[in-house]
Structure 1
Amino acid sequence: MAAMMKKKSLHTTPPDGGWGWMIVIGCFLVTVCTRAVTRCISIFFVEFQLYFGQDYSRTAWIHSIVDCATMLCAPLGSYVSNHVSCQVGIILGGLLASTGLVLSSFATSLEYLYLTLGVITGLGFALCYSPAIAMVGKYFDKRKALAYGIAMSGSGIGTFILAPVVQLLIEQFSWRGALLILGGFVANLCVCGALMRPIHLREDGAQSSLKQELSTNESNNSTSPSTKCSPLSQDCSHKSLCYCSQKEYSFLLKPNFIVLAVSFLFLAYGCSPPFVYLVPYALSVGVSHQQAAFLMSILGIIDIVGNITFGWLTDRRVLKKHRYSCYIIAVALDGLSCLFLPILNSFQLLVPFSVTFGYFDGAYVALIPVVTGDVVGTAYLSSALGVVFFLHAVPYLVSPPISGWLVDTTGNYTAAFLISGFSMIFCAVLLVFVKLIKKIKSRRHTQSVPTSETKQEICTNGDLSCPATEEHKEV
């Protein structure tokens, strides 16, 4: 036992390999079983609409609720990972998600699907998604973007493989049989959870110092117990928990994180409708069911290329300092491609859209955890990702129904896709505007401080890609 503890203490920095590659494989499979399966729910859209005889808006709530529940409960996934274990969280999430899909195969109404496919499955995905992503950040530093690119490509590969498979399952076994089989497939999340071996890093000193501060405070107060503690709880465990939580989420007050968080609201609103309505839109312009499913497959495979190539490129020394700018460019181009979607009215024209949208979607998705980690630091990455995905919840919930309402009202998809594209472009413009303001302030401060302090001042007020260290906690 002592040897094991000693071995754990040797990980003063991320190993950038070793068991870390198994963590990448585990996270890859988690994204396949969560994000890819969520995307493929759009293939059930027409089946649900015809079977239950409902309009676009009411049917779209199914996809919205599962996405919303996944993101809304992401902080819960981070909490379980931080205070129990990542393995327990992912295994529990796998059981919940699988149960939700199996129960959905017995649905008799849309409201039933809202609960089983939406809430239960979404909660299960939430317990798996953010902890798995955070684990990759703990095992990698120098090759972090590449590791995230490979891990996050699971959503693209999964979509590429699952889209035609799900369509085939629906044709062979009906939508009920397809959901039942997907439930068994998603149970593999339990296997993924078993791969998530915990690691202890020097950067996790935030947690260690937390314990030291708590023990110091408790020893100082040992002679005079706090009156706030109940007689049944003299160890003040609730006070310690509050103190830990306060430190754990201290990054929420950083201006850099606040701006990034606001931008995620617009990004999340814009990115969801194209995935939900690409297949229905393709069917509405005369594309066959198999070709429409193939468009999702193309989007998925190109998503992989975006994940891995952008991850590899932004790990290069030339671009590593400009990952934040690369993220902005990817978001802007993804939004721009949505603006052209309403004029693409054939399979041959929709293929280029799937390629373009899929590539830049994979590119920025791979950089979200990297950019977030650059802002808050590795020690707080799990908690920060929980908050980031939580912010995606409301836009994911409302954007598909709003788009569905626009389709029902206008009789076409133009307004829905235009609002989606402009929302993503606004996200990029907001980040560019803030970046320009920070550069202007950085230049003014550089001119006003002595030369010896210039380097520290630039790090404090400059690019968001500046690593999160003790020197710029003021950011």
Structure 2
Amino acid sequence: MTTKDNGSKTVANGKFDATAELLDGDNDVRSASKQTMGLPVDTGWSWVVLLASIIIATIHCGILRSSGLFFIEFILEFQADVSEAALVGALQNAVFAICALPVLMFGLKVFSERQLAFVGFSFASSGYAISSLAPNFKFLIFFLGVMVGAGMSMGFSPVFISVGKHFDKRRGLANGLMLSGACLGSLLMPPLIRFFLDEFGLRGALLMTAGIYANILPFILLLRPESFYRRKGACFHDHQIKNNGNNLKKEIAISLGEEKQEKSDILGEFVTKSETDIMKSSKPINRKRNNTVSEGTDLKMATRRKFLSNSSLVMSTSLSDVVWGSYSLAIAEKDTKRGALQTLKKMCDLSILKRLEYLCFLVYYSLACVPGSIGFVFIPAYAKDMNLTNSEIVLMLGVMAGADFVGRVSSGYLTDLPSFRMTHILLVTQIVIAVTANSARFLSTYWHFYIFAVVYGMFSGVPFSMQASLVSRIVGLEFFPTGFAIMMMLHQGVLSGSAPVLGYLRDVTGTYHATFHYLGICSCVAVLFLFLEPLSRKRDERKAKPLHT
């Protein structure tokens, strides 16, 4: 009797070992399915997203880089002052700054990058189309400034976030390639916009620009949201769980056939063959059959045990589903218990503003990008004042765009190399821009402007290619959307305030010399804050040490 019990225990233990092994395999499948539910990083569809982002940046930034051509036409068409014409870009940047923070901090919590980008660029395209009907300059300021500015904020910022999510090890190169689309757009769009202005006038060119902007929308559809991969991962998980359940059922059935036992319940109570034969035998155990209550009870219990065995077999095939389903329900219940106040607090987390390194970076970036953003607006106007023809101005912008492309791609590549520090690259570029912008007063001939365009174009766009890498390095991926939103808001705010000042300096002095001196001073101050970067980082590290010890 003891031998039989030990044998039963041995069989039971062996059976549970097989079941546990299968469930362990199911856990491995579950881990693999979790990986498939995440975004592809540095591989696969990531490169499709990057290609779509490059095309989006080509169209979007190419139109922005052509705003200098529109700037000249605004002055001629509406007889506006330079400071008044600069209000279009100033209001556009101000609206961009106002909308960037709620879009990146709150909008991306509710909507996907693809949804926001689609709505945003639809707004921008509509703004250009409506502006072609402008009866006066105030009408143009509102729709080209407010509507297009809001559309750009909702459209282009999520594209940055999407590229940042799809790349990790090659994020610097990806950002450089994406923003190189701005250089390609600067090379292609100015001749096209100039052709539209010559053939259709200002209003026709604005309408054609709206049509070009609308071509961005199909490429936005390639920015797959995270929910797409979650659904795909869930389907993969269900398929693997089903297959694993079938394998578990076969394993238990084979084990039952080999050992000639029946499983009584899910805890491993078994009925041996000898007991089963006694219950199934038509002959009584004794020669004289005695119908007793105990015998009837035993038969009833045997039937009940057999019934429980069959149901247990079915239950065991779905054990992994039950365990995983219970875990999912527990997580769901835990998530639903979070209050709205706690969620809102997490969305509004501004703790990154306590980091001195991030604050120094904000000031640096806001000033360093002024020459790269506004300089392209005033360079064509300056060349026009120096009696360059329209074809020469367009060719100069093309040369500047080519130099900008080389600068952005090379800086993005150098960023990924361990032997180069981003801050050192940025320091060199800002010193070059400071010297170049302050030397603009000496430009007088066609070749002077071409040399100026090559140097200015190669170095002024470098901060744009490193912005995402710097923000993610300083604040981390968890706070990347918030850090990027604050950076864009402050940057666009500085641009919106600088544009009217630059136009006012031109109206007061009669030349663009003071305008470019302003740009050079911005780069000089940015250099000072770059020198503070090592000190601020060490201060943050010392402050964080007591928290970890």
Bin for the TM-score computed over the shorter chain = 0.7 to 0.9
Amino acid at match of 2:193: V
The equivalent of 1:255 in structure 2 is 356
Residue of 26, 31, 43 corresponding to 2:57: 31
Give the C-alpha shift of residue 131 in structure 1: 1.1
Answering whether residue 431 of structure 2 is matched by residue 329 of structure 1, we say no
Give the C-alpha shift of residue 343 in structure 1: 0.8
Between the aligned partners of 1:315 and 1:418, the Cα distance in structure 2 is: 33
With over 3 angstroms needed to count, the CA separation of the structure-2 counterparts of 1:324 and 1:10, relative to structure 1, is farther
Between the aligned partners of 1:60 and 1:422, the Cα distance in structure 2 is: 20
Give the C-alpha shift of residue 428 in structure 1: 1.6
1:274-423 equivalences under 5 Å are 274-319=375-420, 322-423=421-522
Describe the SS at the equivalent of 1:191: helix
Between the aligned partners of 1:214 and 1:332, the Cα distance in structure 2 is: 54
Between the aligned partners of 2:77 and 2:89, the Cα distance in structure 1 is: 16
- Structure 2 residues without counterparts, runs of 5 or longer: 1-28, 230-329
Choose 249-258 or 403-412, whichever is displaced more. Answer: 249-258
Is contact 1:273–1:417 with CA below 8 Å preserved after alignment?
no
Residue of 81, 100, 104 corresponding to 2:108: 81
Between the aligned partners of 2:533 and 2:331, the Cα distance in structure 1 is: 36
Give the C-alpha shift of residue 53 in structure 1: 0.9
The equivalent of 1:456 in structure 2 is none
The equivalent of 2:185 in structure 1 is 158
Structure 1 residues 357-397: Cα deviation after superposition (integer angstroms, max 9, x where no partner): 11112322101111111001123222221111101122211
Is contact 1:324–1:371 with CA below 8 Å preserved after alignment?
no
Give the C-alpha shift of residue 43 in structure 1: 0.5
Is contact 1:94–1:128 with CA below 8 Å preserved after alignment?
yes
With over 3 angstroms needed to count, the CA separation of the structure-2 counterparts of 1:318 and 1:85, relative to structure 1, is same
Give the C-alpha shift of residue 5 in structure 1: 11
Is contact 1:98–1:186 with CA below 8 Å preserved after alignment?
yes
Structure 1 residues 396-453: Cα deviation after superposition (integer angstroms, max 9, x where no partner): 1121211111111111111110111111121122121342x358x58xxxxxxxxxxx
Between the aligned partners of 2:422 and 2:547, the Cα distance in structure 1 is: 20
Determine what percentage of the aligned residue pairs are the same residue.
Answer: 23
The equivalent of 2:531 in structure 1 is 432
Q: Structure 2 length as normaliser, TM-score?
A: 0.71
Residue of 194, 200, 205 corresponding to 1:178: 205
Amino acid at match of 1:160: L
Between the aligned partners of 1:339 and 1:138, the Cα distance in structure 2 is: 39
Choose 192-201 or 386-395, whichever is displaced more. Answer: 192-201
Choose 373-382 or 327-336, whichever is displaced more. Answer: 327-336
The equivalent of 1:19 in structure 2 is 45
1:135-150 equivalences under 5 Å are 135-150=162-177
Is contact 1:271–1:424 with CA below 8 Å preserved after alignment?
no
Give the C-alpha shift of residue 473 in structure 1: 8.9
Answering whether residue 162 of structure 2 is matched by residue 61 of structure 1, we say no
Is contact 1:214–1:240 with CA below 8 Å preserved after alignment?
no
Give the C-alpha shift of residue 7 in structure 1: 4.9
With over 3 angstroms needed to count, the CA separation of the structure-2 counterparts of 1:160 and 1:72, relative to structure 1, is farther
Answering whether residue 486 of structure 2 is matched by residue 460 of structure 1, we say no
Answering whether residue 141 of structure 2 is matched by residue 114 of structure 1, we say yes
Structure 1 residues 46-103: Cα deviation after superposition (integer angstroms, max 9, x where no partner): 2111111111110111122223323332223313233211110000011100100000
Residue of 344, 369, 375 corresponding to 1:242: 344
The equivalent of 2:274 in structure 1 is none
Answering whether residue 204 of structure 2 is matched by residue 103 of structure 1, we say no
Amino acid at match of 1:53: Q
Is contact 1:333–1:360 with CA below 8 Å preserved after alignment?
yes
With over 3 angstroms needed to count, the CA separation of the structure-2 counterparts of 1:472 and 1:372, relative to structure 1, is farther
Between the aligned partners of 1:330 and 1:8, the Cα distance in structure 2 is: 43
Between the aligned partners of 1:277 and 1:331, the Cα distance in structure 2 is: 19
Between the aligned partners of 2:545 and 2:122, the Cα distance in structure 1 is: 43
Is contact 1:270–1:422 with CA below 8 Å preserved after alignment?
no
CA RMSD after TM alignment: 2.9
Amino acid at match of 1:34: H
Structure 1 residues 442-473: Cα deviation after superposition (integer angstroms, max 9, x where no partner): 8xxxxxxxxxxxxxxxx9369xxxxxxx9999
Choose 43-52 or 31-40, whichever is displaced more. Answer: 31-40
Amino acid at match of 1:263: Y
With over 3 angstroms needed to count, the CA separation of the structure-2 counterparts of 1:29 and 1:236, relative to structure 1, is same
With over 3 angstroms needed to count, the CA separation of the structure-2 counterparts of 1:21 and 1:416, relative to structure 1, is same
Give the C-alpha shift of residue 32 in structure 1: 2.3
- Structure 1 residues without counterparts, runs of 5 or longer: 202-211, 220-234, 443-458, 463-469
Amino acid at match of 2:448: L
